[in-house]
Amino acid sequence: MGEASASGAVSASAPALRRAIVDPDAIAANVARVGSLVAPAAVMAVVKADGYGHGAVPVARAALEGGATWLGVADVSEGLALRAAGIRAPVLAWLHGHDPSFGAAVEHDVAVGISTRLQLQRAVDAGTVDAPVRVHLKVDTGLGRNGIERAEWEPVFQAARDAVGNRRIRVEGLFSHLSNASDDDDLQQLDAFDEATAMARSFGLDPGVRHLASTAGALRLPATRLDLVRLGIGLYGLSPFEGVDSATLGLRPAMRVESRLIAVKRVPAGTGVSYGYTYRPDAETWLGLVPLGYADGIPRHVSNRGSVWVGGSTHPIVGRVAMDQFVVDLGEHAARVGDRVVLFGDPAEGFPSADSWAEAAGTINYEVVTRLGARVKREFSPLADQTEGVTA
């Protein structure tokens, strides 16, 4: 690559300094992979939180191409954004405010998850004979978050039956969420869900599409697949299991986060690096500066723990991660300003993984990808076509 240099400039046509390249082909392949494992259950692609940081609209389109038949979001507003982009596939939103209004959901054909009597009443208020609200009743089977409490199952099911009779709502589904604490815990939740299903039917309700499992349950416990599985982290090619990587599950990470070195300097042994001088090299070395920091979602906890790829090998992040930048100890690697840096991507290509970053930060891969900030430009292209600089 030539002599290490502290001079030089990136041309105006160079890629953005902060970029997350998302591969729609990987998204589609992950849906197809999980779909083949869980069939005949259908797949809902969960694209909440801007598609786990990957970009909700492009991810939704790729997931539908891969065979997903439903899309899942947290808020109705996220569902409306999909509709505004021209996506017409069934959408379910399940997290609402303290006193929700579902008029926009009715207008734009977004189904809503119902977790309380008040939410059911607001659905009835919004529905009409000509435009009933599409609802999925959510029961709490043991996770302790949102969902109709067991003591409320009977009155809510009765009220739902009456609303269906008045043609104010249409019950399309019954669902819950597993804790993923253990197989035994999840199977107990499945038993509770079966009880809820039987009770709903006893009130004359058709439970419609039953769904309980997200990626973890769908892959680990076939009995929890029911009619539909909600594919979340697996959609993005990441593993929900500790100690089990994506490749073992047949999944491909869909995101690669990269940048460029914006400064390279030779420093003597003992030089303090970044705030607090938490790192001092033992020998003379090259340091590289990367223009991402905790304002971009880079966990401060990777300070002196994480690593990045530069020029064909990994190098440690040293010193404290700052708001806009962090430092890499390049050792004797010959690097120049403008050289490509990969923070994480597909380990099959030699890059650090989101899992390794999660381990360094003491968190989970979900957080690593979803916390990326607005300054990180999302680009959508097959990663196989984004090979510039890989072997440099």
In the prediction, which pLDDT does 8 show? 37
Mean local confidence (pLDDT), 154-179 = 97
Mean pLDDT, range 368-375, rounded to an integer? 97
Instruction: Give the CA-trace dihedral at 300, 341, 274, 366, to 10 degrees.
Output: 0
pLDDT digits (tens, 9 = 90+) for 73-128: 999 999 999 999 999 999 999 999 999 999 999 999 999 999 999 999 999 999 99
pLDDT confidence band for 13 (50 / 70 / 90): low
Is a pLDDT exceeding 50 seen at residue 7? no
Confidence of residue 14 (pLDDT cuts 50, 70, 90): low
Query: What is the DSSP annotation of 160-222?
Result: HHHHHHTTSEEEEEEE-----S-HHHHHHHHHHHHHHHHHHHHTT----EEE---HHHHHH-G
Lowest mean pLDDT among 11-25, 102-116, 360-374: 11-25
Q: Of all residues in the chain, what percent carry a pLDDT higher than 90? A: 92
| Sheet with 19-22, edge to edge strand ranges | 263-267, 285-290, 326-331, 313-318, 307-310, 340-344, 255-260, 19-22, 377-380
DSSP-derived letter for residue 385 is: G
The model's confidence at residue 382, banded by pLDDT at 50, 70 and 90, is: confident
> What CA–CA distance (Å, rounded) separates 172 from 209?
6
Among residues 170, 276, 228, 213, which one has the least CA distance to residue 44?
228
* 323 in a known ligand binding site: yes
In this prediction the pTM is 0.92
Active centre residues (catalytic): 48, 275
pLDDT at position 369 over 80: yes
Q: How many CB atoms lie within 10 A of CB 276?
A: 10
| Mean of the per-residue pLDDT values of the chain | 94
Q: What pLDDT score was predicted for residue 115?
A: 98
pLDDT at 108: 97
Say what the pLDDT of residue 390 is.
Answer: 44
Of 369, 276, 274, 258, which Cα lies nearest the Cα of 329?
274
pLDDT tens for each residue of 233-280: 999 999 999 999 999 999 999 999 999 999 999 999 999 999 999 999
Q: pLDDT grade, residue 388 (50/70/90)?
A: very low
pLDDT at 12: 45
User: Which pLDDT belongs to residue 70?
Assistant: 98
Residue 392: what pLDDT? 40
Mean pLDDT calculated for residue range 294-313: 97
Residue 340 marked as a ligand binder: no
Structural domains in the chain, sorted by start? 24-236 (3.20.20.10), 254-385 (2.40.37.10)
Residue 2 confidence (pLDDT) above 90: no
What is the C-alpha separation between 93 and 250, in angstroms, rounded?
Answer: 29
Tell whether the model's pLDDT for residue 10 goes beyond 60: no
To the nearest 5 percent, what fractions of the chain are helix, strand and coil? 35, 20, 45
